[in-house]
Amino acid sequence: MVSKRKLSKSDAHGDSLIAELPQTKKSRISCKEKTSAEDGVVENDSVFVQLIKTAGITLNAGERQNDIAVDQAIFQKKLCQILRKHPFYPHVVQEFVSGLETHIKDRDQFRNCLLPCAPVQGEGTRNLVHSYCESLIKLLLGIETLQPAVITLLLEKLPEFFFDTVGSFGTNFPRLIVNQFKWLDKILDSKELVMKLMQMVSVSPAPIQHDIITSLPEILEDSQQSEVAREVSQLLKRDTRLTVPILDALSSLDLDAGLLAEVRQSAMVIVPAVKLEDLPVVVKFILHNIKAVDAVEVISALRKSLDLSSCILPLQILSSQRKLKSQPQTSSSTSEVSSSQNCVKLLFDVIKLAVRFQKGISEAWIKAIENTVSVSDHKVLDLIVLLLIHTTNTKSRKQIERVLRNKIPLGCVPEQLLQSAFQNHSLVIKDFFPSILSLAQTFLHSADPCVVSFGSCMYKQAFAAFDSYCRQEVVSALVTHVCGGNDVEVDISLDVLTDLVTLCTSSLIRYATFVKNVLDYTEKLNPQQIRKLFYILGELAFSQRQEDCYIQDDMHMVIRKWLSSTVPKYKQMGIIGAITVAGSMAAKRSKEDGCSLERTQQSEEHCRQLSILLDLVSYCCEQSPEALALYYDELANLIEKQKGNLDSQILERIGKSVVEDFSNDFVVDLTPAVDGVHLFPVKSLYNLDEDESQGTIVINLLPLLSQNSLVKSVDEMAIRNQGKKIVSPECLSPSFRLLRLYTTEQHNGSMEEIDALLGCPLYLTDLEIEWKLDSLAKQEREFLCSLLFHALNWFREVVNAFCQQQDLEMKGKVLTRLQNITELQNMLGKCLAASPGYVPPPAIFDCEALEAAPPVNAVGLVKKKKTGGKKQKSEGNKDSSADHSQMEENPEGNQPEAETTQLEKDTTEKNAGIPLVQLQSYNAFFRELDLEVFTILHCGLLTKSILDSEMHTEAREIVQLGPAELMFLLDDLCQKLEHILIPPAAKRAPFLKQGKACRNIGFSHLCQRSSQEVAQCAVELLKPLCNHMENMHNYFQALITENQGVVDGPRVNIQEHQLMSSCYQQLLQAFRLLFAWSGFSQRENSDLLRSALKVLADKLKPGETEFLLLEDLISDSFHYLLNFQHSVPNFQCALTLTQLLIVIAEKPVASWKKDKIASLAKQFLCQSWMQPSGMREKGSQFSNALHTLLCVYMEHTDNILKAVEDISSVGVPELINSANDGYSSTYPTLTRQTFPVFFQVMMTQLENSVRSIPAGKPSDSSEVQIEKLLHWNVAVRDFHILVNLVKVFDSRPVLSICLKYGRLFVEAFLKLAMPLLDYSFKKHREDVQSLLKTLQLSTRQLHHMCGHSKIHQDLGLTNHVPLLKKSLEQFVYRVKAMLAFNHCQEAFWVGTLKNRDLQGEEILSQDSEENDPGEGVSQLPREDPAEEEGDISGSEGGSENNDDDEESSE
């Protein structure tokens, strides 16, 4: 017993070795059936035990494995010899197997026989036994005489364990039994073994089936793989539970191509339904052994079937549970989420391995994503795979960047997709962080704002989803962009940091030092960027009490340095920085926490710092009007932005000084005479307050401007040295804006304290002097211009201030101020026309001086085209009026325009011929209108009752929003919507690099609002805009009826017509800009879109839109807008209406909408567009609009080829047969001037259309071939018609278009049509023959154009010739190859082709080249003998095949 115990101890080391083996893992038994005393060596007299022991293996009972004392090869050899030399051989074999069967009846002993033997490490045998030995059963299977019997025994033993749960005896017996058959050196009857195993699969439970199937690749011989694979694949269709083991086994087998494709298709079908944990195995098999030819098709099908939404379901369930129960997540839910994430990680690991080690997978996956056209078909999977390939395959990085650049602007990869990828799959995405950072940096360099926005979103999502290291890298990258100096990158990076500091303040504070370093690079930042930077730093510095004092100190030092500078730019930066930091300090006081004493001390300290800072800024600005104006504007912005969140002490301190300053500096009492000497006589104008007897105040504008002019010219430096405050009219509007915002903040929106400023007059001069401009000196003219600019800016700020007042009298005054603005603008236009080179006074102070300079061409003169709309009222009468007034409001606003028509007509006739400067170029010198101003559009008809002293109605005066005022508001609204809602890439590129800075001038208040806020405001304006548009519709419909359909009738007021047309155009443009906003595609803005559409739909079906589906709302809105088609007054309005309908229809496009748009576009093209003057519409603007509308028609028509044929074969012949100034009767927009536009669009659309015809394939049926041939036949016929039109319209633009697109058409024919002809020539010979014969005529004409270009030596045309001739030559040889492919090469012959001009006349000026052997030869039909001789130059493409010979060859 002692020796047995020693053996037991010695086996402990063997057990530990066995536990590390990969094939079988020894399980501990929780409860032992035998006591340790029973564990020991099996000893009996059976043949089996004795022979095994003699051969070198000791059989053990209990938990110990069998011991082997010799090498396993020696054991097998020795046992084999013993059996063969045994006197009872071969009967001893049967007895031996019987003994084995008896031995393994005991489960412990059976387990020991299935587990590896433990080598005995004795002193004499240390080097004889390998450290790893096979099990006894496997060793016996390696002996040929024993193998069949042992196999039979094992397979008979296997059913005993069918219903055993794994671990009941500590071991998975079925798996151990199956493992014995793996990797045998030789199997005597492999076929029999496999047959028995497959039979066992059909009857065994699922776990055993799994083990058998996955073991087959290690059991089968090579010759059996194909047969067994086919049999196993049949199981895939019968039992989906075995999908994973079957695919795992098949991926290790050598399958023929047919079977592989069949199994792959079966696997593809089950991808959507497979369990998440099984998905990686299925995908691995699908990606296994893909051929390059099939890769794109297979991966396209796979990406359609893969849906990651099932992977994020556990996360969503967990999130909803936590929200409902507000309880911490349980261990089970945590493990479920973890398991889900791990499965997704495994899935992408499989894809990553395929991309890395299988050639062509990455290219195919990129191509599959690239080929996906529909926006809704793009998935999170696509984005993650692109990031995976970008990380794994460095060669594909440029291609991936290109794909994303193309997809992002189309909305295929929206930011919601990116957010979903980061939020739901951060575990996977984190591995691709270097690629994310690289792509984000690249995208921020892009010129496309959509791509730039996507890059910024990548930064934000990476910061939110990843760990501290990744966050540090994100902040470093953003700071690098800010310091780089590129305006777009700086803006977007600061915007990202602003979002991060708002949403993740506590996380960003750790990296505040990185952000602070930007202070060293502020030289390249503009004022708006300085504001953003100091907002970020202020939020970080004052978010905690003491930790970030060093940031506060650095900011204060920089601000003090800038404020004390004499350089205007630095002083400007100091003012903006100081006020922005002051805002952060003042706003944070209400948010501090902690004990009350500490909070009070902190508040007092902040208040002291704020007071010092504001005093410093005020002192440094007193002697610079521009700096002081900026100070006022920044304080006003601070109050507006922090509305309701500013400390009352700070607000009171600001207000006390501003009220005193404004009243002292700019307001005086109205007196009959004004002291002082001025350039012009002072006169009080624009007084809206009737009672002057009670001390009316007046804005002291002209005297201040005169005084300021004297100061600048005489003793400005002296006044500066005296330290006196300079009062300048430049500060008038900013000071009033600050006063207004302070007043509304202090009095909860009430304006009673300052309402006198709405109607008070201004000290100006008699503006009738505009008729004597030529007699004024330059200084006087420029003084008058400055006076008008200041007056206009005052009125604009007054309208900003009082636009939201509900009092009817004040509403009337606001409308009157709008009339004053339009009148003054007309006067200013005339004055500017007489003052070339004049630079207006600044009105916007948060931009650099050079940015606000007017362009050189701004002073160009144009003839006045429109009037202010209202007759100027006599100011003297206003001022002397002592009546009282009361207001009545008619909200309908559908008043007739007839009352003002004659007045406008008279004014227009009076002003006819006076030059006028367009004021759009001077937007930088006008104060910005707030979005709230557009609430005036809600105003209907206001009737002002003028009463006498006894309160009896004396007269009624109509105060209304006239066309000129409406045009003024709409023009500004469209500019704002275009600026904030439409990406700048969609607009014309600005001149050089200055355009980016100039683009934001005049929109500084607007840019502080998000695009969502602006869109919300615009949606609220839709109802009044609809009312105004309906008024326009009624006006033009009435005009058409009145003039019996004649646009240029004698009763039409031309100026009024033009003004109303402009209003109509701007109304349509406002609708288009709003609905073209890309933000409507975002899920969070879907309610806003519904609200907008409901306004339009409610006009069509009042009260029925509340519960309509989105598609129904779109349909009703579309039909409502479609009703305006009959009243559009000019072609530009027609185009805008069509574009508006397209934008509405894109949400989403239905076939009927497409047909409607095509029909509408054709209707507009077939309409004769006349101006009220009787002239047809023409010019570059009309041509551009015509080009756009024609493209719309071609893109939306159901048959482009038919449309091209209709225009070219119907409209153009009508034009040819008309007079020189005539037009096509079917298409009146087609004239000789617009023919190049039609020709270019038709050639472009024809070429695009043929590229959409699929290339011919050998597998195409006869019907498919006929259909494709028919398409090509129509296309070639259209091409022939268009090319031959050059004989009639031979202008240079037409020739250039024909040469360019003619080459592209021939190239498309070579690529797509010639393969079709290869396979259809024999079946459809006559169709092919006709097709080539028609194309031959076109290519000859192209050859003649090449000759014409050379003769005229036109560089613009000859640049196209080499590429065109190359394509024509390729075509000749491709036709020859096609004939050879169809065994008709004898039908091909070559002749020489002469150079001819456009009319077909021979060019005789190249005799020296006739004998040049270096030119190519041409291919000609024999029926044209005139071209069988002559010059051979340039003949590479001017010929075709001989169709008659083709026919005879058959």
As a whole number of angstroms, the distance between CA 1164 and CA 1173 comes to: 20
Query: What's the predicted TM-score (pTM) here?
Result: 0.75
Q: Which residue has the higher pLDDT, 260 or 1447?
A: 260
Ranges of H-type helices in 667-807: 701-713, 716-722, 732-746, 756-759, 778-802
Kindly state the tokens that stand for 21: 């083996």
- The residue-averaged pLDDT of 745-756 equals 86
As a whole number of angstroms, the distance between CA 1421 and CA 1380 comes to: 18
Confidence tier at 874 by pLDDT (50, 70, 90): very low
Q: Which residues pair with 1396 in a beta bridge?
A: 1402
Residue 67: in which H helix or E strand, if any? strand 67-68
Q: What is the pLDDT of residues 297-306, one digit of tens each?
A: 888 888 888 8
As a whole number of angstroms, the distance between CA 1250 and CA 1272 comes to: 7
Q: Which residues pair with 888 in a beta bridge?
A: 943
Question: Which residue has tokens 């060669």?
Answer: 395
As a whole number of angstroms, the distance between CA 166 and CA 314 comes to: 29
Q: What is the pLDDT of residues 589-618, one digit of tens each?
A: 444 444 444 445 556 777 787 888 888 888
pLDDT at site 216: 86
Nearest to 1320 by CA among 1269, 1374, 1270: 1269
Confidence tier at 998 by pLDDT (50, 70, 90): low
Kindly state the tokens that stand for 182: 């793996």
CB 254 within 8 A of CB 289: no
As a whole number of angstroms, the distance between CA 111 and CA 33 comes to: 14
As a whole number of angstroms, the distance between CA 39 and CA 33 comes to: 10
Residues in the chain: 1450
pLDDT at site 255: 77
Check whether 881 has a pLDDT greater than 50.
no
Q: What is the CA angle 1386-1392-1397, rounded to 5?
A: 135
Check whether 14 has a pLDDT greater than 70.
no
| % residues pLDDT > 70 (the chain) | 78
As a whole number of angstroms, the distance between CA 1118 and CA 1101 comes to: 12
Sheet holding 118-119, edge to edge: 57-58, 67-68, 118-119
Of 152-166, 315-329, 658-672, 1305-1319, the one with minimum mean pLDDT is 315-329
- The residue-averaged pLDDT of 1264-1288 equals 89
Q: 647: phi > 0 → left, psi -120 to 50 → alpha, else beta; which? A: beta
pLDDT at site 124: 52
Select, from the ranges 689-693, 913-917, 1051-1055, 1176-1180, the one with the highest average predicted confidence (pLDDT): 1176-1180
Confidence tier at 776 by pLDDT (50, 70, 90): confident
Q: What is the pLDDT of residues 1110-1168, one digit of tens each?
A: 888 888 999 999 999 989 999 999 999 999 999 888 766 566 788 889 999 999 999 88
Of 386-400, 863-877, 917-931, the one with minimum mean pLDDT is 863-877
- The residue-averaged pLDDT of 263-287 equals 82
Q: What is the CA angle 470-472-477, rounded to 5?
A: 95
pLDDT at site 1021: 94
What are the distances in angstroms from CA 1221 to CA 625, 955, 1046, 1234, 1390?
A: 60, 55, 20, 11, 46
| % residues pLDDT > 90 (the chain) | 22
* Contact residues for 1016 (Cβ-Cβ < 8 A; gap 6+): 1088
pLDDT at site 681: 86
- The residue-averaged pLDDT of 1199-1208 equals 91
pLDDT at site 378: 87
Nearest to 543 by CA among 494, 598, 506: 506
As a whole number of angstroms, the distance between CA 1209 and CA 1215 comes to: 11
